[in-house]
Amino acid sequence: MMIDITKRKEAENELIFHARLLNEINEAAIVTDLEGKITYWNRAAEKLYGWIRDEVLRKNIIDVTPTDTSKEEAEKIMEQLRHGDSWTGQFLVKRKDGSTFTALVSNSPVYNDDGKVTGIIGISTDITEKIDVEFKLRERIKEQQCLYNISQLDEQKLRIGELLKKAVNLIPKGFQNPENTAASIEWKDEVYSSENVEQKNLVLTELSRRFIKMPLIIRVYLLEEIHDSGESAILEEEKLLLKAIKDLLAVKIEKIIQKEELMNTLEEKDSLLMEIHHRVKNNLAVVSGLLEMQAIGTDNQELSDYLMKAVFRIKSMAILHEQLYQSGSFSKIRLSLTIKHLVQDLLASVQTDTKVNLEFDLEPVLINIYKGIPCCILVNEVVMNILDQGFTDNGRAKIKTSVSEVNGNVNVKIFADDFSLLDKFQKKELQFMGLKLTDMLTKQLDGENEFAKTENGMVFRLSFPKSDSQDKLNIFEN
């Protein structure tokens, strides 16, 4: 008899010890029997649910903590626990005052020494704040994603209407209930709407007056009204989101307008340049034609030669102008290509009994017009004088033109297989205008030139720095 009392006393002391332990934890601990009647209710449970222990002991847990909507699920969980299966998850519960919250609940069966289920213990924690934080985090991510998607709309490739059509369908995705949200954007006389927009449930409007007489208006609608007074139709963060979208779209629209204005300006510039090109081309043709007619009509051979050289110079200027226009750049010249055209056109224009074979060794060199134009005119003068003064004894001849760039210097070489040329060019009485102009142009280029003999004839060498010059073009500079 004494042994039984001792064992019972030890068991009671153990239960009291475990009860004290449960009372000290911060989570609500509730113990029920298999019928669901509450047998233990710790201090944390009193604080969490609002019921003191004596008010709930022997009451059925189904009548105390589950809400009306969660009672059926609670019954299923209890049945699961009676069979020895644990259950953990989020569960909607209520307090004594009727307010509800979501709790993280962990329920486990309690076994006796024989391994039979004799009760159920549940540990619950209010996770309302955690859920709220997670919800807000998801909403902020959704809003940022919405802004990012709109920011990725390429204003460089889209017109304003195309931009707004795409943007208006992205706006609802940034709100808390995208499936219940629609949007419209008004710009000038056009209204762009997302799918299924219903104008009757307007909840938010943003207006941008960034553009004079062209307001940008963004409106947000709910497809169905929210009647639950506990839920806000529009969050404050969503109002800020719409303002950010408005500002972002206004910036993009402004860029598109600037791009379109620039394109219009460029089109006007192209039209103006085309008109100038045709006028210059026609004027040069008229002047060269008049000079050529004068040269043909005079009996003075010397005068005729001078007039024809003037014609060749004008034609060389026309070729330079044509190359600039065709290249689409009025600041750079493709030097090698331009020189090739000049030499070919010059040979085609000069009457000579000698069959001249043209050879070219040309590296691609792009050079600014302040260097390129004097260089091309200089080459024109040298080749023209070679054709005028050389090849008197040969039935066939060769002119080879080379262009290269080495260490920032442009090098031009013009070779002619006529040994007599150098002597003619060096005679004082033959220092005619063409060669004087050659020296003037070389000086303008800050370069050096020379006429020299080779094993096979004569070569003209020109070298000048490629570096850009901002000086005005003046081919008559002394």
pLDDT for 457 equals: 86
Q: Which residues neighbour 206 within 8 Å (Cβ) at sequence distance 6 or greater?
A: 217, 218, 219, 242, 243, 245, 246
Answer whether 434's CB lies under 8 Å from 427's CB: no
* Statement: residue 1 has pLDDT above 80: no
Read off the pLDDT band of 330 (50, 70, 90): low
pLDDT for 397 equals: 83
Answer whether 470's CB lies under 8 Å from 414's CB: no
* Statement: residue 16 has pLDDT above 60: no
pLDDT top residue among 314 and 433: 314
Which range has the worst mean pLDDT, 147-151, 377-381, 421-425?
421-425
Q: Which residues neighbour 353 within 8 Å (Cβ) at sequence distance 6 or greater?
A: none
Read off the pLDDT band of 185 (50, 70, 90): very high
| Domains assigned to the chain | 2-126 (3.30.450.20), 132-257 (no CATH), 298-465 (3.30.565.10)
Which phi and psi angles does 390 have, rounded to 5°? Answer: -105, 180
Q: What is the pTM of this model?
A: 0.53
* Statement: residue 124 has pLDDT above 90: yes
pLDDT for 311 equals: 81
* Statement: residue 317 has pLDDT above 50: yes
Q: Would you tell me the crossing angle of helices 369-389 and 433-444 to the nearest 10 degrees?
A: 160
pLDDT above 90 as % of the chain: 37
Nearest Cα residue to 84 out of 45, 124, 112, 105: 112
pLDDT for 176 equals: 86
* Statement: residue 234 has pLDDT above 50: yes
CA pair distance 299, 309, nearest whole angstrom = 16
pLDDT top residue among 434 and 241: 241
Encoded tokens for 352 = 């000579």
As a whole number, mean pLDDT of residues 422-445 equals: 72
pLDDT tens-digit map of 42-79:
999 999 999 999 999 999 999 999 999 999 999 999 99
Answer whether 107's CB lies under 8 Å from 88's CB: yes
pLDDT tens-digit map of 154-177:
888 889 999 999 999 999 999 888
pLDDT for 5 equals: 59
CA pair distance 146, 443, nearest whole angstrom = 64
Mean pLDDT over the full length of the chain:
83
* Statement: residue 277 has pLDDT above 50: yes
Which range has the worst mean pLDDT, 56-70, 208-222, 381-395, 406-420?
381-395
Helix (H, G, I), strand (E, B) or coil at 126: strand
